[in-house]
Amino acid sequence: EAQVTQNPRYLITVTGKKLTVTCSQNMNHEYMSWYRQDPGLGLRQIYYSMNVEVTDKGDVPEGYKVSRKEKRNFPLILESPSPNQTSLYFCASSFRPGLPGANVLTFGAGSRLTVL
Amino acid sequence: GQSLEQPSEVTAVEGAIVQINCTYQTSGFYGLSWYQQHDGGAPTFLSYNALDGLEETGRFSSFLSRSDSYGYLLLQELQMKDSASYFCAVRSSTDSWGKLQFGAGTQVVVTP
């Protein structure tokens, strides 16, 4: 089944304790991206990657890091989480521009993160 | 930069038609997308308009007017399962293609 898999789905952690949210897709998509969703604010893009080793900032990158060492994986790293990073996080992927389906994002199920 | 505006909530009865408007301000524009999200779930793709006009997919249609910087999603023959949040999203052509911005979402409530 074609899908985007995120882990963990739920996490409660404490301020300053580094954590990584993994994202993996099995559709051979070049493009991957991370979003956070907060009530009333919709989805805000954190980082995106156009291909392996190519990453760039979205609208709200502060406090986050990403890496894209393999095509299928795009982990989101919170080096020193703070309470304002408590949110619902989504990973998504698609084909690169110019290919059919480039504008169809497939989302993971979401990771609900609470930072105390 | 870019910003998108859409109504926060729309309520309608089963069988009715609902139109969700999305206005955007962006310096350059690739196209307008729509996504549906049920409570607690992942957003799912509904439609994409790159050109002006109406795109129809079953009970849902999406419209774009580039000259008016405006689009809408039309939900026909509303069903209870259509109760969800709907988001419009744009990519600015003056920015990287990879950068995508979403509206704050419109919650559609369908009543019996």
Predicted confidence pLDDT, tens digits, chain B (112 residues): 558 999 999 999 999 999 999 999 876 778 999 999 999 899 999 999 999 999 998 999 999 999 999 999 999 999 999 999 999 999 887 788 889 999 999 999 999 9
Select the residue from A36, A49, A103, A111 to test the B interface by mutation, using most B Cβ atoms within 10 A: A103
- CA neighbor of B77 nearest in space, from B13, B10, B8, B7: B13
pLDDT of residue B2: 58
For residues A65 and A63, what is the distance between their CA atoms, to the nearest angstrom? 7
Contact A28, A73 (CB under 8 A): no
Å between B90 CA and nearest CA of chain A: 10
* Amino acid occupying residue A72: R
Provide CB contacts within 8 A for A53, sequence distance 6+. Answer: A68, A69
Cα–Cα distance, A63 to A79 (Å, whole number): 7
B70 touches chain A (CB under 8 A): no
CA distance B64 to B52: 5
For A10-59, the pLDDT digits (tens) are 999 999 999 999 999 999 999 999 999 999 889 999 999 999 999 999 99
Find the DSSP H helices in chain B.
none
- pLDDT score at A70: 97
